[in-house]
């Protein structure tokens, strides 16, 4: 055999992905090293300017807050899924999956309406913090976080569900038979044993959050500049390809590291866990 088995069948897909994805990325990497002469100028500019550092910090801060929000809301959903009858589990996972398959524009449009000044949400938030003034929830980081948590929530639900569903019930029964209260069984057995699901869900949500573009643009109203917004601006407004390319490569590297970490966790502890990404 002159060619490895299966390569002929793989060729069309590999050709498509290489020509339209890998080659453009390599070209982008080249651009980040200067358009005419080889230099690290773009990277120096990116790390040298305070304003760019602010964008990086904001991207990390918002993404981290979004991950915390996703886990606080997603863990309970994963928990309920794992401890449901198969029938109820099927229904509940549909309720999580249908929003996942709804256009991100539809959800952002809804949030702009729901969070606007003088809307129900902003008055309610005002009451919550004890002020008679409505709290501004739109066109700032809070609005962006709400929209991003709404989109990324399913990413944290399914890894948690898989980790909880894979647990042996005998472990919980053993703890209970040794006198642990039901709540203590959770805190000392169930929760620690679902760590892999928590880490996997967090990594997946964080890696995706770093590259978010539409939600920060719409719910941030141009006032919440994140990494993806910055890249777009450099390309469309300033035509500064080297800077856009350098920022893209750093974003890419960060996401690749997170995905590699996720795959290590998923491979060992979450059989089929990566399907949550689909």
Partner 1 sequence: MPRVEHGWVSVFFHVIAASALMFLLLPIAMMFPLSLEPGTMLRFPPQGVSLHWYSDYLKDGAWIASTILSFQVALGAALLATVAGTFAAVGLAQASPFVRNAALLILMSPLFLPTVVAAVAIYGVYAALRLVGTPLGLVAAHAVLTIPFVLLNVQSALAGAPRALDEAAMSLGAGPVAAFWQIKVPLIRRGIAAGAIFSFLISFDEVVIAKFLSGTQAVTLPKRMLDGIFYEMTPMLAAISVLLVLMNAALALLALALVRGARKDT
The interface with partner 1 within residues 43-82 (CB under 8 A) comprises 72-77, 79-80
Give one DSSP letter per residue of 72-99, joined into a string.
HHHHHHHHHHHTS-HHHHHHHHHHHHHH
Rounded least distance, CB 9 to partner 1, Å: 3
Give the x-and-dash track for 130-169 against partner 1 (CB under 8 A): --------------------x--x----------------
Nearer to partner 1, 105 or 131 (CB): 105
Coil, strand or helix: which one is 267? helix
Question: Segment 242-261, which members bind partner 1 (CB under 8 A)?
Answer: 244-245, 248, 251-252, 255-256, 259
Question: Going residue by residue from 100 to 119, which x/- string records binding to partner 1, judged by CB under 8 A?
Answer: -xxxxxxxxxxxxxx-----
Q: Tell me the closest approach of the beta carbon of residue 85 to partner 1, in angstroms.
A: 6
Q: How far apart are CA 227 and CA 249, in angstroms?
A: 11
Torsion angle (degrees, nearest 10) of CA 26, 27, 29, 30: 120
10 near partner 1 (CB under 8 A): yes
Residue 65, burial from CB neighbour count under 10 angstroms (0-12, 13-18, 19+):
middle
Whole-number Cα distances in Å, 265 to 90, 200, 202, 214, 268: 26, 6, 11, 29, 6
For position 225 contacting partner 1 by CB under 8 A, the verdict is: no
Q: Is 2 in the site for partner 1 (CB under 8 A)?
A: no
Q: With CB under 8 A as the rule, give the number of residues binding partner 1.
A: 89
């Amino acid at each position: 055999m002159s060619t490895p088995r299966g390569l002929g069948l793989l060729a069309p897909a590999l050709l498509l992905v290489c020509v339209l994805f890998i080659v453009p990325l390599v070209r982008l990497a080249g651009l980040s090293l200067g358009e005419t002469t080889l230099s690290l100028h773009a990277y120096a500019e990116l790390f040298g300017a305070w304003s760019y550092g602010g964008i990086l910090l904001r991207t990390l801060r918002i993404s981290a807050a979004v991950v915390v929000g996703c886990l606080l809301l997603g863990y309970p959903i994963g928990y309920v899924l794992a401890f449901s009858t198969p029938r109820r589990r099927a229904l509940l996972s549909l309720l999580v999956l249908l929003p996942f398959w709804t256009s991100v524009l539809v959800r952002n449009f809804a949030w702009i309406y729901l969070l606007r000044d003088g809307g129900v949400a902003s008055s309610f938030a005002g009451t919550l913090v004890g002020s008679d003034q409505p709290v501004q929830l739109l066109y700032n980081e809070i609005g962006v976080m709400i929209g991003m948590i709404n989109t990324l929530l399913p990413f944290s639900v399914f890894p948690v569900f898989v980790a909880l569903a894979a647990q042996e019930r005998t472990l919980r029964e053993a703890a209970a038979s040794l006198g642990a209260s039901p709540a203590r069984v959770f805190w000392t057995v169930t929760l620690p044993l679902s760590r892999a699901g928590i880490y996997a869900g967090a990594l997946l949500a964080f890696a995706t959050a770093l590259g978010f573009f539409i939600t920060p643009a719409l719910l941030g109203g141009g006032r919440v500049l994140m990494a993806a917004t910055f890249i777009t601006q450099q390309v469309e407004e300033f035509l500064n390809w080297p800077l856009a390319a350098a920022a893209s490569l750093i974003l890419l590297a960060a996401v690749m590291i997170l995905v590699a970490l996720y795959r290590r966790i998923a491979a060992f502890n979450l059989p089929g866990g990566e399907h949550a990404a689909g």
